[in-house]
């Protein structure tokens, strides 16, 4: 590992949820945290570094073609998911990235098991897919609003006592299968404070060209703040695993959240360490034969191999 890669690995350690630990969000993670990166200017340099790594490694990920990367993005309303996606993914080849947003499930989606619609959008080998909201809504909004569960038409055996524990377990096992078979899962929770959410909603009201982003449903949802904090805490405690750990990103400062998110995704690519495929001796000799043929076709006055000639 070069020092750049080591710096990234050290930087993200503070955000990682240790598998098996019990998280209480309000006590364990500070939305205003910024460690040693006190200044936006220093942050910009780090972000550029993270983005460089993303871009370099993405090409290799595509060339190696054995792994896909799934980025799971969860946040409270106004947590900054969209801006994070936009900033982090500048510099990567758009052909290798898909973004899927998950809204309230349709009736066709509700006619299947709860993981079905997420399974269908998983990354291909060589690609990065971002889930803007994800299967974790199934243990967040659905847990906070039990009436949503009613719409899922579940058999009796999938409900009742222990159902959330079972869902955590099912999600962990699903992710384990995916990760063993080449899908690297990167889970980011953008952790916003109550006061910063209030400020961002007001900003959306105060700035005319942000009015379109304002949703009164989001303000109503804010009344369930404590329930969400509990649901997020339980989710983090039960679904941070060795194969797919959660990272809690301090989200009160947008610039910091973007650096942190880019660093965690970059680190996942570093861990995969994809390589350009190499070819064996026979294939190499075959290339040299073709090279000779092409060189023999050089017109009058041209170098046999203009590339080699510089």
Distance, in Å, from the CA atom of 169 to the CA atom of 138, rounded to the nearest integer, reads 13
Choose one: 9-17, 140-148, 185-193, 199-207; the region binding ligand ATP (CB under 6 A).
140-148
Nearest to 84, CA basis, from 226, 231, 260:
260
Is residue 196 involved in binding ligand ATP (CB under 6 A)? no
Distance, in Å, from the CA atom of 53 to the CA atom of 56, rounded to the nearest integer, reads 5
Distance, in Å, from the CA atom of 109 to the CA atom of 252, rounded to the nearest integer, reads 34
Shortest distance (Å) from residue 77 CB to ligand ATP: 6
When the beta carbons of 139 and 263 are compared against ligand ATP, the nearer one is 139
When the beta carbons of 19 and 83 are compared against ligand ATP, the nearer one is 83
Residues of this chain, 86-115, that bind ligand ATP according to CB under 6 A: 101-105
When the beta carbons of 204 and 253 are compared against ligand ATP, the nearer one is 204
Tell me the site size for ligand ATP, rule CB under 6 A: 15
The end-to-end CA distance of the chain, in Å, is 32
Shortest distance (Å) from residue 307 CB to ligand ATP: 47
Shortest distance (Å) from residue 49 CB to ligand ATP: 28
When the beta carbons of 133 and 253 are compared against ligand ATP, the nearer one is 133
Residue with CB nearest ligand ATP? Answer: 137
Residues of this chain, 209-268, that bind ligand ATP according to CB under 6 A: 215
Distance, in Å, from the CA atom of 176 to the CA atom of 268, rounded to the nearest integer, reads 16
Q: How are strands ordered across the β-sheet holding 97-101?
A: 97-101, 128-132, 68-75, 183-191, 246-250
**Tokens standing for 150?**
């009613």
When the beta carbons of 5 and 98 are compared against ligand ATP, the nearer one is 98
**Tokens standing for 221?**
């949802």
Query: E strand or H helix at 248, and its extent?
Result: strand 246-250
When binding is defined by CB under 6 A, the residue of 137, 175, 196, 252 that contacts ligand ATP is 137
When binding is defined by CB under 6 A, the residue of 14, 115, 122, 148 that contacts ligand ATP is 148
Q: What is the DSSP letter of 280?
A: -
Question: Are the C-beta atoms of 50 and 270 separated by less than 8 Å?
Answer: no
When the beta carbons of 48 and 205 are compared against ligand ATP, the nearer one is 205
When the beta carbons of 46 and 89 are compared against ligand ATP, the nearer one is 89
Is residue 205 involved in binding ligand ATP (CB under 6 A)? no
Choose one: 92-100, 132-140, 176-184, 280-288; the region binding ligand ATP (CB under 6 A).
132-140
Query: Strands 128-132, 183-191: parallel, antiparallel or unpaired by DSSP?
Result: unpaired
When binding is defined by CB under 6 A, the residue of 122, 141, 154, 219 that contacts ligand ATP is 141
The set of residues, in sequence order, having a beta carbon less than 8 Å from that of 54 and lying 6+ positions away, is 88, 89, 91, 92, 262, 265, 266, 269
Q: Is 240 helix (H, G, I), strand (E, B) or coil?
A: coil
Distance, in Å, from the CA atom of 11 to the CA atom of 220, rounded to the nearest integer, reads 36
Shortest distance (Å) from residue 142 CB to ligand ATP: 5
Q: Which residues bind ligand ATP (CB under 6 A)?
A: 77, 82, 101-105, 132-133, 137-138, 141-142, 148, 215
């Amino acid at each position: 590992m070069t020092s750049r890669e080591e710096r990234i690995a050290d930087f993200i350690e503070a955000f990682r949820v240790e598998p098996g630990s019990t998280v209480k969000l309000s006590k364990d993670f500070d939305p205003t945290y910024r460690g040693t990166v006190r200044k936006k200017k220093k942050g910009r340099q780090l972000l550029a570094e993270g983005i460089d790594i993303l871009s370099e490694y993405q090409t290799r990920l595509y060339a190696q073609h054995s792994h896909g990367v799934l980025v799971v993005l969860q946040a409270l309303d106004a947590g900054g998911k969209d801006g994070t996606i936009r900033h982090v993914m500048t510099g990567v080849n758009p052909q290798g990235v898909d973004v899927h947003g998950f809204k309230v499930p349709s009736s066709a989606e509700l006619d299947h098991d709860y993981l079905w619609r997420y399974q269908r959008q998983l990354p291909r080998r060589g690609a990065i897919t971002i889930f803007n909201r994800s299967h974790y809504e199934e243990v967040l909004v659905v847990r906070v609003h039990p009436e949503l569960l009613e719409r899922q038409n579940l058999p009796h055996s999938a409900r009742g006592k222990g159902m959330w524990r079972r869902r955590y377990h099912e999600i962990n096992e699903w992710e384990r299968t995916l990760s063993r078979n080449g899908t690297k899962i990167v889970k980011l929770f953008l952790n916003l404070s109550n006061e910063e959410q209030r400020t961002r909603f007001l900003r959306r009201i105060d700035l005319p060209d942000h009015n379109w982003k304002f949703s009164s449903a989001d303000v109503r949802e804010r009344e369930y703040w404590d329930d969400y904090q509990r649901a997020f805490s339980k989710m983090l405690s039960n679904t941070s695993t060795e194969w797919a750990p959660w990272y809690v990103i301090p989200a009160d400062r947008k610039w910091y959240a973007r650096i942190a998110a880019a660093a965690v995704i970059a680190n996942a690519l570093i861990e995969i360490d994809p390589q350009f495929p190499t070819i064996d001796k026979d294939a190499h000799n075959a290339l040299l034969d073709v090279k000779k043929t092409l060189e023999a076709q050089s017109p009058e006055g041209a170098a046999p191999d203009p590339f080699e000639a510089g």
